[in-house]
Structure 1
Amino acid sequence: MKNLPEKAFLGEEFLTWLWYRTETGQGEFLRKNGSYAGASMEDFLLFGGDDRDELEQTLRRGLPSKSPEATTALAEGKRLARARLTLATGEREWVLVLDGRTFDFLSVKCPEEDPEDIGDDPMAKDLARMQGFAELSDLVDELFGLFLETRLSPSFEDKEVPRIRAWIRDRQKL
């Protein structure tokens, strides 16, 4: 999405949708291969508005996704521009900061490989890390595809948007 800044809102909406799904007990996703993937929000959120010159708000440490500041940002219509996520499938788990505007992966921690599988060979370690990045990229692409299916469905405005708005209202009551 780097070359399509006018489409950056889709990545921001994707992060907000992931957040909504994880907080409403829908953070597990059925993958095309029949396995499941899970997502959770972590200790870093960066909010931005529609205007790229608008002030950004960063929340970190603890559980910023549960904070009153995060709720206020959502209620004001700010979208999640970046977030630290944990994504998992099977026994493999990645922690990363995903930039919703560009889909850049920042600060990625790939799953640890079994030392018996890779030994002491530095090339094998590098290949295992590259494989981890490829798996992560495929997983994010698949989750984004699920989001787009939802976002582009005829029922999105009538069903999903009211649910997300209700989630935000419910957060304000806490």
Structure 2
Amino acid sequence: MGKREQAREEAAFMRGDVGVDGAATEEKQDAAEVERGKAREALLRGKAYLGREFLTWLLWRSESGEPVAAFEKTGLSVLFLGRVVLKGISGDVTELSARGAMAPYSEQVRQGMDRGLLVHQARLMLTHGEKAYEVTLDAEFLDIRAAKLPALMSEEDDSRTGERLYLAEQLSAMITTLVEAFIAVRAGRTWSKQVVPAMKEWMRGEEGTRKQTALQRAASARKR
């Protein structure tokens, strides 16, 4: 073994790239895992455009009324409520705000998204089992602006405080679960070939008769 080769191996060992047997200490990540890591890092660093893509994707997924992801082995459903804010970076209109019980699912909002606007802020209802949470999310850092937790069951003050903290942690974990579900899709091979075209069809109203599940759920939510 030459001195140069020996020096390179020693340097690799000192960096932790190889073990004492000369083999790599970590397996090389596949391309999909690398992309998921990049997407996750961008989102956590406050890349607003990725947060907007997430909320726009979530709006599209939520309209069917089907669970968007599984949380603790139970389906997690999402419903957009009331006010929604769309933003873009170019065009004659760079911001659009819509209000109303079904405003997020309206034709006007879908047309705005088709013209390049994405969801920047929205009020969501997350339903998990028999519990329903409400939260306002902002795409900048996916900060929780305001939240409404399920009714507390405990009667003692100390127990109620603990229960409230538990529910708040559950809400945070649910949002993380939804983000992870989006990242898996966003970094996958089907994003540009299948998901984006399907979302564009939905924005343009080319899916035929739209489902009424969201309307029924909104009416039910208002009665609670």
> In 1, Cα distance between the equivalents of 2:71 and 2:131?
17
Deviates more, 1:125-134 or 1:154-163: 125-134
Q: Which has the larger radius of gyration?
A: 2
Query: Which whole-Å deviations, capped at 9, do the CAs of 1:99-150 have from their partners, x for residues lacking one?
Result: 1221111220001121xxx2132x3222222111100010010011011000
- With over 3 angstroms needed to count, the CA separation of the structure-2 counterparts of 1:155 and 1:67, relative to structure 1, is closer
| 1:19 to 2:59 alignment | yes
- With over 3 angstroms needed to count, the CA separation of the structure-2 counterparts of 1:3 and 1:150, relative to structure 1, is closer
SS at match of 1:170: coil
Question: In 2, are the aligned partners of 1:71 and 1:171 still within 8 Å (CA)?
Answer: no
- With over 3 angstroms needed to count, the CA separation of the structure-2 counterparts of 1:36 and 1:84, relative to structure 1, is same
> In 2, Cα distance between the equivalents of 1:157 and 1:99?
24
> In 2, Cα distance between the equivalents of 1:173 and 1:101?
33
Matches within 5 A, 1:42-81: 42-50=81-89, 55-81=94-120
Query: Which whole-Å deviations, capped at 9, do the CAs of 1:35-75 have from their partners, x for residues lacking one?
Result: 11111111110111136xx7432211231123333122112
Question: Residue 75 of structure 2 aligns with which residue?
Answer: 36
- With over 3 angstroms needed to count, the CA separation of the structure-2 counterparts of 1:62 and 1:90, relative to structure 1, is closer
Matches within 5 A, 1:108-147: 108-114=147-153, 118-121=154-157, 123-147=158-182
> In 1, Cα distance between the equivalents of 2:106 and 2:206?
9
> In 2, Cα distance between the equivalents of 1:172 and 1:30?
23
Superposed CA RMSD: 2.4
Count residues with an aligned counterpart.
166
With normalisation by structure 2, the TM-score equals 0.67
2:140 to 73, 77, 101: 101
| Gaps in structure 1 of 5+ consecutive residues | none
Question: Residue 85 of structure 1 aligns with which residue?
Answer: 124
SS at match of 1:83: strand
Which stretches of structure 1, 4 residues or longer, exceed 3 Å deviation after superposition? Answer: 171-174
SS at match of 2:203: helix
> In 1, Cα distance between the equivalents of 2:132 and 2:145?
16
Compute the displacement of 1:10 (Å): 1.4
Q: Which amino acid aligns with 2:198?
A: R
Identity %: 23
- With over 3 angstroms needed to count, the CA separation of the structure-2 counterparts of 1:100 and 1:33, relative to structure 1, is same
- With over 3 angstroms needed to count, the CA separation of the structure-2 counterparts of 1:59 and 1:10, relative to structure 1, is same
| 1:8 to 2:44 alignment | no
> In 1, Cα distance between the equivalents of 2:71 and 2:163?
23
